[in-house]
Structure 1
Amino acid sequence: MATKKYVAKYRLLKETYERITGKGISDITWYRIVASLKQYFSLSIESANAQSIVETYAQLKRKCPAFSFRTSDFSSRWQAFKYFYDAREVQYTGQQFLVALADYLKINLDDVPRSTRYYWFSQAGLSYNAGSTYHSKDLALVAFVAAKWAINKRPQPMKSATIEVLTLVK
């Protein structure tokens, strides 16, 4: 049974999320978000840092609506996000970041259309400029968006079509 203090904090966190994102959400959706925040951000409703965790997630969600825990490729995208987010106040120029991102995602930067690079930045609420300096924490969301592109471009494993596999066991 939840305590009154827990329920009050739970509601306050939901209101904070709705205020930052500018959208109301249902109770079941909030329940699912909290479950994911517990899993990926180690959220504890009654902890002192719960407010900042919800604020951070809400700001990410506001900047990039595609930032969702429910996609099948979230874990891979999350790793790319964390790689750049956890970098200690590293600064990159736009071009340096793209090179580092391509290296991390194991993609050839020449295969990425110019418009796609701009799209990655715009989805993260940033404007791309090859010479501009960005903080790695700001670029983490770009990495999250770019990881989806990289995942979709990877060759899918082929199913075996050999006769041995297709024969039925007697």
Structure 2
Amino acid sequence: MATKRYVTKYRQLREVYERITGKSISDITWYRVVASLKRYFSLEIESANAMSIVETYAGIKRKCPAFSFRTSDFSERWQAFKHFYDAKHLQYTGQQFLVALADYLKIKLDAVPRSTRYYWFSQAGLSYNALHSYQSQDLALVAFVATQWAINKRSRDCVSGHRQSPPVKSANSQVLTLVK
């Protein structure tokens, strides 16, 4: 049974989330978000850092609405996010980050269209500039978005890498007339 204090804090956290994202959230969706925050961010509703965790997550959601714990590839995307987020004191220029990201994702940077690079940054609420200096924490969301592209690229390459057999042609034209 939840205590009155727990329920009050739970409601406050939800209100903070809704205020930051600018959107209301249904009861069941909020329940799922809290469960995911408990799993990935070690959220404890009554802890002193609960508000900070929810504010951080809501900020991420506001910048990148596609950020979701529910996707099948979330684990890989989360690892990329954490890799750059945990390097709190590192700074990268835009170009240095793309090189580090390509190395981390094991992709060739020249295979990434220029417009895609800009898209990654825009989805994270940033403007891309090759010479601009960014904090690693700010780039973590870019890594999260870029990882989805890398996953999709790997799947496309895997599918196109396999030679498809040519269509089988019937040597007998009577087979076609029988199908009609």
Flag whether TM exceeds 0.5 (same fold).
Answer: yes
Residue of structure 1 in register with 2:23 after alignment: 23
Q: Could you state the TM-score of these two structures normalised by the residue count of structure 1?
A: 0.91
What amino acid is the match of 1:96? Q
Residue of structure 2 in register with 1:48 after alignment: 48
What amino acid is the match of 2:66? A
What amino acid is the match of 2:37? L
CA distance in 2, matches of 1:93, 1:12: 38
Residue of structure 1 in register with 2:104 after alignment: 104
CA distance in 1, matches of 2:28, 2:127: 35
SS at 2:68 equivalent:
coil
Tell me, which stretches of 5 or more residues in structure 2 are unaligned? Answer: 163-180
Question: Following TM superposition, where does structure 1 have runs of at least 4 consecutive aligned residues deviating by more than 3 angstroms?
Answer: 155-159
- Per the TM alignment, residue 67 of structure 1 is displaced from its structure 2 partner at its CA by 0.5
RMSD of the alignment, in Å?
Answer: 1.3
Residue of structure 2 in register with 1:74 after alignment: 74
- Per the TM alignment, residue 89 of structure 1 is displaced from its structure 2 partner at its CA by 1.1
CA distance in 1, matches of 2:24, 2:112: 37
**Pairwise mapping of residues 6-155 of structure 1 onto structure 2 (< 5 A)?**
6-155=6-155
What amino acid is the match of 2:35? A
Q: Which structure has the bigger radius of gyration?
A: 2
CA distance in 1, matches of 2:129, 2:147: 20
Residue of structure 1 in register with 2:170 after alignment: none
More deviation in 54-63 or 146-155? 146-155
- Per the TM alignment, residue 60 of structure 1 is displaced from its structure 2 partner at its CA by 0.2
Tell me, which stretches of 5 or more residues in structure 1 are unaligned? Answer: 160-170
SS at 1:154 equivalent:
helix
Q: Could you state the TM-score of these two structures normalised by the residue count of structure 2?
A: 0.86
- Per the TM alignment, residue 88 of structure 1 is displaced from its structure 2 partner at its CA by 3.1
List per-residue Cα deviations over 1:19-73 (Å, max 9, x = no partner): 0000001110000000000000000001000000000000000000001101111
Residue of structure 2 in register with 1:3 after alignment: 3
